[in-house]
Structure 1
Amino acid sequence: MSSSYTSTISSLGVGSGLNLSSLLDGLKSSEQTRLQPLQTQKSSYTAQLSAYGTLTSAVQNLQSAADKLNDPSLFDSTKVDVSGGAITATSSTDAVPGSYDVSVSQLAQSQSLVASPVADKTANIGAGGTISIAAGGNAPVKIDLASGQSSLTDIRDAINHANAGVSASIINDGSATPYRLVLSSDASGTANQITVSATDASGATGTPLADLLSYDSSAGTGSMTETVAAQDAKLSVNGIAITRSSNTVDNAIQGVTLTLNSITSSANQVSTTRDNGTIKSAIKNFVSAYNSYQGKAGALTAFNGSNPSSNGVLLGDSTARSVSSQLNKALNTPVSGNSLSVLSDIGISLQTDGTLKIDNESKLDTALASDPRGVAQLFSGDPTKSATDDGVAGMLSATIGRMTDQNGVLSSASKGIQNSIDDVNKSISNMQDTIDATVARYHQQFVQLDSLMSSLNSTQSYLTTQLSQLNSSSSSSKG
């Protein structure tokens, strides 16, 4: 509202002496009540839209839990235990149950070479040149050192930036010439030994780089000293000798990665078993997600006859009923061609309130232990078939996917409610325009009334004055 309009309202009644401003405010408030039915309708639609969002979120959480059970690899989960501290181990889904005696007679280690000492690590050595360095069977890497950039520090940095499979460092041995360059292979094992040589820049006198950096691991000769020899790991699994270049040993045991920490004095036993705990946890999460959906759906569709205002937002809603019906059907459709066909076969039953309950946990444990393939196919279907929705979890996930895709019942219902909200917003906007126009008309009429009353009051005052003067003149003439 403009300032001139506001000032006009505040001045209403000045001419007539009537409280026209208050009267106009009352009329405006009365007109605004025409919006209440539309605003109530919008609130109802907004509550429905929020309820559909809650329902969609609940079924999507259920779908996530179902998808975990619909993954056949879950049922191949294994765990590995090691007796003793010389070895640690992890397993993958490729591991098979078994027990293995593992002994370690030698750990893998990386080769280290040490150069002759120098007094100042920042002083240039020679006038630059080229270093050639290689680890194992890799092609030699050429490293150029410019004149004036050939100190021990420069050499270390250049090697570390070359990605040659070799790391360089400088140690201080505390002597009069304390600084020594150390080269270490990034990978352990005899296959990753270092060969290094250097060529001084053309025209340089002497051979300082060549003298400092020289070692041929195949011959064991050079100006550098081998302080740590490259070494392979040696172990045995159930008496079978195995050699690896690393202390991380893959697939010496199928699906198991061993990490060798120390030499064993006696064999460590490595045992792989099916990880029924992980599978059981996924099943419990599925039951929990389904019950969470049921709790939210129940609250949204609740009926309270004694207090209708506490009824659920989606009471009697066809979409909510459809979602419940479809999920119930997917959950209770028997899985064909399997030793276990329904959830009750593994101790999970549907309660009278619509929730699921693991009411016989020992039955679930027995099924996981004695019929793991049956449990897997109950949830994820037959792995020999291409279908991904022939198990309980697969059917449920596919059902939810159809509900929540762009043409599904939940998506369509949400879009329909949003369209209704948009229509109500337009009606509210149009109604507000009508109310504003009506109030503006009232205001204009009051302005005219005020002006008319002001004019009449002025006329009355004039006539009163004139009559008074006439009376006064008449009285004077009679005297």
Structure 2
Amino acid sequence: MEGISALGVGSGLDLTGLLDQLRTAEREKLQPIVERRTQEQAKISAYGRLQTGLDKFQDAVAKLNDTSLYTALSASVQGDGISATASAEATAGSYEVTVTQTARAGSLASTRVTDLEATLTDADASIDLTFGDGSTHSVALAQDATLAEIRDTINDDPDAGVNASIINDGEGYRLVLTSKEAGEDAGITDMTFTNFTDATLEADASTQQLGRDALLNINGIEITSTSNTVEDAIQGVTLTLDASAEGKTATVVVEQDSESLKEAVGEFVSAYNEMKSTIGRMTAVTGDPETAGELVGDRTVRTIESRLSRDLGDLVEGGDIELFSQLGISLTPEGRLELDETKLDEAIASNPQALADFFAGDSDEAGMAGRLEATLGQVLDSDGILKRSIDSSEGRVGRLEERFDRTEVRIERTVDRYRQQFGQLDAMLAQMNSINDFLTQQLSSLNFQNDS
């Protein structure tokens, strides 16, 4: 390596510069490999974006292929203070709900303790709780416990049935117990202090708020609920009451969940168009390699588009709806889907079963969604066409990287050979220059003698 810095000194030629030019020229052999590798890596990235778009479309298709979508019911409420949800067990109908009172948890406070740091318990102390259904529970307390420690012990007992807190009413501190559950039976009704140093500490009856059940009337039938979440008073429907519901009447309507069905169709159209836009960008022909799509003319993309177009265009025979156009979906000249929401609303309102037959059919692959789901499954499968294309490009990238490394080694060997040859040339020219200088000197001496 020391010869590099001295290269050309003997001959006076710029051999180092010439060697650099030769190295640059040799490294041009790497450029086609780099460009090809960049192209393959861009294809892999494009395949990944395509897979994301197809995954999203597959999710939308799967939703339309689920028969429960077409039988699902929704619950709506006309009125205040009540919300409702319907499950698969619900049946369509209209229900008038009048709320007399909402459910409430019971609570009870103790008499005051003036010193929050004072110890209140002797040995074997406990606090005994009584509830609305007559049940009791005893919480054992440590000796010399403060009010805060008593609170914490109660809260650490999973079977206590109450939450404990401390309230400062301005004159002292009170232990307040609130039932964990609403309802008359679960409400706290009494607490008894055993083996306390302060004999005056007891439940303050004036602070008691009894637990109570929710009372409501549904279509003339009286209903009692221990909770403000009223389940299955209307089969398959859950009613949720808030405080503002008391004394009010609301109408609960259970009907086909047309909004979810419409939303699912809209997601299908949107996901397909998004996927088509992705493909459009990847296959754009611009005449400029810098701006053209990464998958121009790609056989994998053409195959996927062809299969999906075939599925979308074929009839779904046997039902009242056989084509997308009958439910308000049309294909634009650009290959996108366009949704006429008014026509879709009419189709859902007039014949929802026809939509179920068209999209879901009577088996997993019978309807349009089933057909598309089968195709997408083949495309996106672990050994499907998209995964094979990705694997193929990744294999080419690996081989190109190996080729790059081998070519780079050959280039360095060539440059080393040039360096050795230039070194030999430099030495030979240096020797010739030395001989030339010697002969010139000798000739000059001879001429001088002749002149003399």
Q: What is the TM-score of this pair, normalised by structure 2?
A: 0.89
1:29 CA drift (Å):
1.7
Match of 1:52 among 47, 51, 64: 47
Does the aligned pair in 1 maintain the 2:121–2:142 contact within 8 Å? no
Distance 1:308 1:20 in 2: 40
Specify whether residues 263 and 426 from structure 1 end up closer, same or farther in structure 2 by C-alpha distance, changes over 3 A only: closer
* Paired AA for residue 366 in structure 1: E
Distance 1:434 1:444 in 2: 15
Distance 1:39 1:87 in 2: 67
Distance 2:254 2:361 in 1: 25
* Paired AA for residue 126 in structure 2: T
Distance 1:191 1:45 in 2: 71
* Paired AA for residue 192 in structure 1: A
Pairing 1:73-222 to 2, within 5 Å after superposition: 73-128=68-123, 129-133=125-129, 142-148=138-144, 150-163=145-158, 164-175=160-171, 178-194=172-188, 196-200=191-195, 207-208=196-197, 212=201
Gaps of 5+ in 1: 201-206, 215-222
Distance 2:271 2:168 in 1: 62
Does the aligned pair in 2 maintain the 1:76–1:94 contact within 8 Å? no
1:17 CA drift (Å):
0.5
1:57 CA drift (Å):
2.1
Match of 1:356 among 311, 314, 337: 337
Does the aligned pair in 2 maintain the 1:131–1:198 contact within 8 Å? yes
1:245 paired with 2:226, answer yes
Q: Deviations over 1:384-407 (max 9, x none)?
A: xxx433222232123112111221
Specify whether residues 362 and 262 from structure 1 end up closer, same or farther in structure 2 by C-alpha distance, changes over 3 A only: closer
1:363 CA drift (Å):
2.6
Match of 2:311 among 330, 333, 355: 330
| Pairs aligned (count) | 447
Match of 1:339 among 305, 320, 333: 320
Q: Deviations over 1:336-371 (max 9, x none)?
A: 44333332221212334332222x433311111121
| Residue in 2 that maps onto 1:375 | 355
Distance 1:135 1:349 in 2: 65
Specify whether residues 53 and 118 from structure 1 end up closer, same or farther in structure 2 by C-alpha distance, changes over 3 A only: closer
1:36 CA drift (Å):
2.9
1:72 CA drift (Å):
2.9
Specify whether residues 405 and 210 from structure 1 end up closer, same or farther in structure 2 by C-alpha distance, changes over 3 A only: farther
Does the aligned pair in 2 maintain the 1:134–1:165 contact within 8 Å? no
The answer to which of 347-356 and 100-109 deviates more is: 347-356
Q: Deviations over 1:274-308 (max 9, x none)?
A: 3322321221121121122223323434556xx37
* Paired AA for residue 266 in structure 2: K
Does the aligned pair in 2 maintain the 1:141–1:162 contact within 8 Å? no
| Residue in 2 that maps onto 1:273 | 255
Does the aligned pair in 1 maintain the 2:283–2:293 contact within 8 Å? yes
Q: Percent identity?
A: 40
* Paired AA for residue 422 in structure 1: G
Q: Deviations over 1:61-89 (max 9, x none)?
A: 21122122223333344443333323233
2:150 match: secondary structure: helix
Match of 2:418 among 442, 450, 453: 442
Distance 1:465 1:341 in 2: 108
Match of 1:227 among 208, 213, 218: 208
| Residue in 2 that maps onto 1:416 | 392
* Paired AA for residue 237 in structure 1: I
Pairing 1:244-263 to 2, within 5 Å after superposition: 244-260=225-241, 261-262=243-244
Does the aligned pair in 1 maintain the 2:121–2:141 contact within 8 Å? no
Distance 1:415 1:126 in 2: 74
Distance 2:369 2:198 in 1: 69
Distance 1:191 1:404 in 2: 57
Q: Deviations over 1:217-256 (max 9, x none)?
A: xxxxxx7666111211110001100000112212222333
1:438 CA drift (Å):
0.4
Specify whether residues 264 and 284 from structure 1 end up closer, same or farther in structure 2 by C-alpha distance, changes over 3 A only: same
* Paired AA for residue 50 in structure 2: L
Distance 1:131 1:265 in 2: 38
Distance 2:430 2:279 in 1: 67
| Residue in 1 that maps onto 2:436 | 460
Specify whether residues 85 and 362 from structure 1 end up closer, same or farther in structure 2 by C-alpha distance, changes over 3 A only: closer
The answer to which of 54-63 and 254-263 deviates more is: 254-263
Distance 2:198 2:104 in 1: 28
Specify whether residues 322 and 414 from structure 1 end up closer, same or farther in structure 2 by C-alpha distance, changes over 3 A only: same
Q: What is the TM-score of this pair, normalised by structure 1?
A: 0.84
* RMSD over aligned Cα atoms: 2.8
The answer to which of 456-465 and 57-66 deviates more is: 456-465
Does the aligned pair in 1 maintain the 2:75–2:253 contact within 8 Å? yes
1:441 CA drift (Å):
0.5
Q: Deviations over 1:385-432 (max 9, x none)?
A: xx4332222321231121112210111011111111211111111111
* Paired AA for residue 141 in structure 2: L
| Residue in 2 that maps onto 1:24 | 19
| Residue in 1 that maps onto 2:272 | 290
Does the aligned pair in 2 maintain the 1:197–1:210 contact within 8 Å? no
2:308 match: secondary structure: helix
Specify whether residues 315 and 179 from structure 1 end up closer, same or farther in structure 2 by C-alpha distance, changes over 3 A only: closer
Gaps of 5+ in 2: none
| Residue in 2 that maps onto 1:203 | none
